[in-house]
Amino acid sequence: MVENNPSSLVAWSLSAEEEVKEISKRYRSLLKTCRPFLDKGNRKLIRRAFELAVDAHKDMRRKSGEPYIFHPIEVARITAEDIGLGTTAVVAALLHDTVEDTDLTLAEIENEFGNIVARIIEGLTKISGLYNKSSDSSQQLENFRKMLLTLADDIRVILIKLADRLHNMRTLDNMPQDKQLKIAHETSYLFAPLAHRLGLYNIKSELEDLALKYIEPGIYRNIARKLQETKVRRDRYIREFIVPLQQKIESAGLKAEIKGRPKSISSIWNKMKKQNIDFEEVYDLFAIRIILDSPLPLEKTDCWRVYALITDQYQPNPNRLRDWISTPKINGYESLHTTVMGPEGKWVEIQIRSQRMNQVAEKGLAAHWKYKDQDGDPALDAWINKVREMLESPQPNTMEFMDEFKLQLYSKEIFVFTPKGKLLKMSAGSTALDMAFEIHSELGLKCIGAKVNHKLVPLSYVLRNGDQVEILSSNIQRPNPDWLQFLGTAKAKNRVRQSLKEQRREITEAGRVKFLQKLKGLTPDVNDDLLQRIVHHLGHLSLQDLYYDAEMGKIDWNQVQNALRPRSKRSASKELASLNSTEALQSGKAPRQNSKDSNFEETEYGNQPVWVDGKQTDFRYRLASCCNPIPGDEIVGIPEPGKEMVIHRQNCVNSAITHSTSHQLAVRTRWNKGSKVAFLTGIFLKGTDDKGIISGITQVITDEMHLNMRSITVVSEDGMFEGRIMVYLDDTKALQDLMLRLRKVRGVLKVGRIEKMEPSLKFGL
């Protein structure tokens, strides 16, 4: 709102002398407003701020041609009068535009007025700079969000900003039309809801009315005209309506002020729009307010006594009773509302409240601490905390405010809430799992899913602004490598990597013990050379790798047996095997065989899980990831030229598609029963969203069946639960067994195998 060019004088034509007089007149009016909290020291501070501001802005004018200093004086007055703040805020308001628009520096202000005033002005300058210089609307919203963030520093920054905006709206006539519209839109979209949120109802109403005036001037003028036209009639109606009430209240010995309450233009327009009705049909066009002069302990009783007196006289509409006294609104608003049928069948809205309640309703909670503004005042701090709490509170009605913005905010940061209402700042794109790690890394490591706004979601769920997130954890959960795909924060990723390493170390160690034990059963000469030979023969990268696979059940012990043989025979047998397995049979004399000696040689490659055409063959294959076949399934192999064969389940759609769209013919394959490899299989569950269901499921999998679970994820909708589990299984028999047991878990209604694995699911799992 800065205008340095005096040539744009519009309606301002005072002489320099008259201007000085006008300035000091306005300053005295400000002091009058501040009187309740003015002592000598405060007066001096305000005087000094005023002088500094006058000097700093001395060459500047508003668009209207007025001296610029009018603006900070008026903002300071609104800050004191309408918002109820004290000296610190008044000083900051007087200086609010100096750092941005004049030569005055923050250091000078800090020097003169101390750290608190300087920080408030810094906050205001930051917001203002961000606000005015940005052009696109997403940036605007981002800046607005930043402004909300400054709440954490000092609530007074926001309150002075609102006063600033109010004065700018009051003087918007002098701006060019396109700017008018933009500023009006911001006001109705951002500032009015903010004022509402802070309980500043008067400011909110005025901001909304002023915004409407510029956004829909025709409608505004129309309603204003109709209000004007009907004013005399309405005033008379209200006067007559009040008479019997006044008598009753007086004879009851209560002191009260009763006044007609003008409805704001914007609230009338909102009603007309919402209910699709004409001006004449807005039924609580008639509204009165009864303000009781009651001592604090009697407030509530007196309000209800007045309610009783009113309803003796007029019939209340039972659907319109609102008791904000027993349960004040989160922004501190207290009042008793009712709507009664007045004469001529007209509804009249009545608000009943004490003077104290009225102060709070008009000026927000600041009214409580209006006259206490010393630095570090615990009461003011308490209020600031209250406002912050308000903004952070997760109750549905308090979320309305956040809701207004959360869909529109294109921010790099988002805000989410814990179940207890704690606000967490996360970067956009963060998942539920990220949040678990944000709360505590141990919680992250045990996370199995989350409830977002009371619905179960998988841990890969991408958080949205305003989500309330409850992290679900289980002691048996362990991180898996897929997690790295949907973790956003480096901290969480590192923690998962670290945990995976630890897991691997544990598995490797367990595998080492088992492997060496078994190996010693096969040969007495276990030494490093032998171990290296086995590593090499089995194609592992290191001994650690080998141990790891041993624990995971992925070691082909026939291959190990083979590696134990003298080198010459080993290579010979290998070559021969590829030509003729019977020759290999003859040449290979495996030493120290166990009871299975007799068929050991037959199964040279016998531990390979899949055979082609009913025979063991040394062929390269992989199990299709679309259908995840496991032993026991009917399978087919689909060869791909130059690549490994892909083993599908016979009923797999993908195999049918591949089959029917290429020239490849399926190869008959079957499982080798001797194979000792575990297969990753997916199981889905459905049930009721029961508290114990997850622990019931995991208990079956790990405690009863001792299975290696890779992941579990849960989602729910409307009280129904859906889980997906990835687990390592030997064969279809184990799968049937597992599914049978899972069906018995309380709350589980349906269990099935995941027939077709979506690629995305695999990551989600």
| Residues forming the site for Mn ion (CB under 5 A) | 97, 164
Scored b (16 or more CB within 10 A) or e, 710-721 reads: bbbbbbbeeeeb
CB of 99 to Mn ion, least distance (A): 11
Nearer to Mn ion, 95 or 198 (CB): 95
φ, ψ for residue 458, nearest 5 deg: -70, 165
List CB contacts of 747: < 8 A, sequence separation 6 or more.
687, 688, 690, 692, 693, 696, 721
- Torsion on CA atoms 639, 640, 644, 647, rounded to nearest 10: -50
Going by DSSP bridges, is the β-strand pair 315-316/336-341 parallel, antiparallel, or unpaired?
A: antiparallel
CB of 87 to Mn ion, least distance (A): 19
List CB contacts of 180: < 8 A, sequence separation 6 or more.
172, 173, 214
| Helix and strand counts by DSSP (H, E) for the chain | 31, 20
CB of 95 to Mn ion, least distance (A): 10
CB of 124 to Mn ion, least distance (A): 8
Going by DSSP bridges, is the β-strand pair 621-623/645-649 parallel, antiparallel, or unpaired?
A: parallel
Nearer to Mn ion, 167 or 648 (CB): 167
CB of 78 to Mn ion, least distance (A): 11
Which tokens sit at 297? 């302990």
Nearer to Mn ion, 97 or 601 (CB): 97
CB of 169 to Mn ion, least distance (A): 12
Q: What's 9's DSSP letter?
A: -
Nearer to Mn ion, 23 or 439 (CB): 23
φ, ψ for residue 492, nearest 5 deg: -65, -40
List CB contacts of 364: < 8 A, sequence separation 6 or more.
83, 84, 198, 199, 200, 331, 332
Count CA atoms within 13 Å of residue 73 on its CB side: 24
Nearer to Mn ion, 162 or 697 (CB): 162
CB of 203 to Mn ion, least distance (A): 15
Q: Which parts of 59-216 fold into alpha helices (H)?
A: 70-81, 87-94, 98-101, 106-113, 115-133, 137-149, 155-170, 177-186, 192-197, 201-215
CB of 384 to Mn ion, least distance (A): 22
Q: What's 756's DSSP letter?
A: S
Q: Which parts of 465-596 fold into alpha helices (H)?
A: 490-522, 528-538, 543-551, 557-564, 567-579, 581-587
CB of 205 to Mn ion, least distance (A): 21
Residue 136: how many other CB atoms lie within 10 Å: 9
Catalytically active residues, by annotation: 100-101
Angle between helices 201-215 and 265-275 (to 10 degrees): 70
Nearer to Mn ion, 96 or 234 (CB): 96
List CB contacts of 168: < 8 A, sequence separation 6 or more.
1, 71, 183
Nearer to Mn ion, 69 or 433 (CB): 69
Nearer to Mn ion, 100 or 110 (CB): 100
Give the number of residues written for the chain. 765
Return the closest-CA partner of residue 613 out of 642, 644, 635.
635
Count CA atoms within 13 Å of residue 199 on its CB side: 30
AA letter at 130: L
Residue 408: how many other CB atoms lie within 10 Å: 16
List CB contacts of 241: < 8 A, sequence separation 6 or more.
286, 288, 342, 343, 348
Nearer to Mn ion, 68 or 415 (CB): 68
Which residue's Cβ lies closest to Mn ion? 164
CB of 97 to Mn ion, least distance (A): 5
Instruction: Show the CA angle centred on residue 170, arms to residues 8 and 31, nearest 5°.
Output: 100
Nearer to Mn ion, 97 or 467 (CB): 97
